[in-house]
Amino acid sequence: MCACVALVVGMVAAVNLTVPMLAASTLHPGASALVWIVDSYVVVFACLVIPGGAAGDRFGRKGVLLAGLLLFAAGALLSAAAPGLPVLLTGRAVTGVGAAAVLPNTLAVLLHAVPPERRAAAIATWASMTGLGGVAGNVGGGAVLSGGSWRWLFAAAVPLALLLAALTARVAPVSARHDRRLDPLGALLLVAASVALLVGIVQGPESGWGSPVVLGGFTGAAALFTAWTLVELRVRHPLLDPRLFLLPRLRGACLGMTAVFFGMFGLFYVNASFLQYGKGFGVLRTGLGIVPLTVPIVLGARHVGKLAHRIGLDATVALAFALVGGGMLGLSTSGTGTPYAAYAGWLVVIGAGVTLALPTLSGAIAGSLPPAQAGVGAGLQSTTREFGSALGVAVIGTVLTARFHDALPPDIRAHGEPHTVAQALAAAGPARRHDIVTAFVTGADAGLRYVGAAVLLLGALLAALPLLRARRRPARADG
């Protein structure tokens, strides 16, 4: 189950390493297209992961998990063979559907397979793998991409998914089914609303923040999210009952999880290009460059429960966000002349915060729902993770693009208004590489400093206050 988690989460991180390759490829994607190549997988993944969990509850978790792995393999194969951007984006979306069926049902299978006294440890291990999976994707993706083609990353995912499907078919237990109807209209509205929101965010730098497409995206997102809420309040078996967020502990934990993954995967997006462009690392060394983030996760995950018991849940969450936010602020000062050792030190600080946050917040979400809705509970955790990842890539990528464009010398900007390093190099030539890379580093610093750290610190406040209120006010017996 942990290997399945590493595969679907690792793909979110690994594709960031392909951004420089894709930008220089014959596909010639612009800055917004590069973000969509990353986010088309993540958005579908995030929005369908709760239906994936509900489908497992209704039709059988093992069967839905197997179907998801096969669909993941099919989408990866389509992406690897894509002749152009539309087919590549379609393949990424299909892979996201498969991932949405896989991730929530891995936790549901684990909770069914282990005795009650081991469930807390199983949840902590599973939650840690969602963080380690991102780093595994960076390292494994770097190794695969060192061969020279972005297509190899998607091709390599196909046999891995098929192997995991064979292992799952052999070892995973069959769990009881629950008579819980699906909510296709709710799922459709949630996907449409999320896509509209990201259209507004991603297209801002290239189309203009006052352009019809951007304003239409934000307006459509507001209308669709409102319609989704109204539908969910009226249907008998909602995809996700909005009333659940009236529970302070659940609401705070979801906000906190979204903020953590916003920063972590926004960091992955920036890191992949910063180390290649700014530090001159090869793709394999870039993938390995994120490894220091995992040191606290590997060494400290087993001790988080004891620390939370000693200092309290609220203090643990606040400390986690302070470490993640402070680490991102530190990284934003790491220019091209900063030694990698200092860069790695800030990654360790961020990793310590992630180590504290993941099992603590996962336990709070899982403990807020009854056992019969284990799949939906796991889906809710996964939705907050992946939606935070999608927003992180979109927002930090948008800020990076805007600041990069503004920091370019005027004579380079005059050559077709470039929005990516590859476009600027093609317009101005290799002789201006230093100026172009300096502009890129300026944009990367802005993305980490003004977006990542600010939102994470805000997330600490939003997450800690509801958790504090929930602890002081006894929960209702029927909560």
Q: Which pLDDT tens digits describe the chain residue by residue (479 residues)?
A: 999 999 998 998 899 889 888 988 888 888 888 888 988 898 888 888 878 887 887 888 899 999 999 999 999 999 999 999 999 999 999 999 999 999 888 888 888 888 888 887 887 788 778 767 877 888 899 899 988 789 999 999 999 999 999 999 998 888 766 666 677 888 888 888 888 888 888 777 667 778 888 899 899 999 999 999 999 888 877 777 788 777 777 777 888 888 888 888 888 888 888 888 888 888 889 888 888 988 888 788 778 888 888 887 778 888 888 888 888 888 888 776 778 888 899 999 999 988 888 888 877 777 776 666 665 666 677 778 878 888 888 888 888 888 888 888 888 887 767 778 888 888 788 888 888 888 888 888 888 877 666 666 666 665 556 555 555 555 444 44
Cα–Cα separations (whole angstroms), residue 189 to 48, 131, 172, 230, 310? 11, 29, 33, 11, 43
pTM of the model as a whole: 0.80
CB environment 375-391: b (16+ within 10 A), e (fewer): bbbbbbbbbbbbbbbbb
Question: How far out from the chain centre does Cα 67 lie?
Answer: 22
Q: Identify which of 403, 419, 425 has the alpha carbon closest to the alpha carbon of residue 29.
A: 419
Q: Identify which of 369, 343, 365, 356 has the alpha carbon closest to the alpha carbon of residue 445.
A: 343
Q: Identify which of 299, 316, 303, 48 has the alpha carbon closest to the alpha carbon of residue 191.
A: 48
Domain boundaries 2-182+239-472, CATH class: mainly alpha
DSSP string of 42-68?
HHHHHHHHHHHHHHHHHH-HHHHHHHH
The predicted pLDDT at position 68 comes to 95
Domain ranges of the chain: 2-182+239-472, 183-238
The pair of structure tokens assigned to 127 is: 């939650």
The predicted pLDDT at position 476 comes to 47
The predicted pLDDT at position 478 comes to 46
The predicted pLDDT at position 179 comes to 64
Q: Give me the residue label for tokens 């209702």.
A: 476
Number of alpha helices (DSSP H) and beta strands (DSSP E) in the chain: 21, 0
pLDDT digits (tens, 9 = 90+) for 232-285: 888 877 777 788 777 777 777 888 888 888 888 888 888 888 888 888 888 889
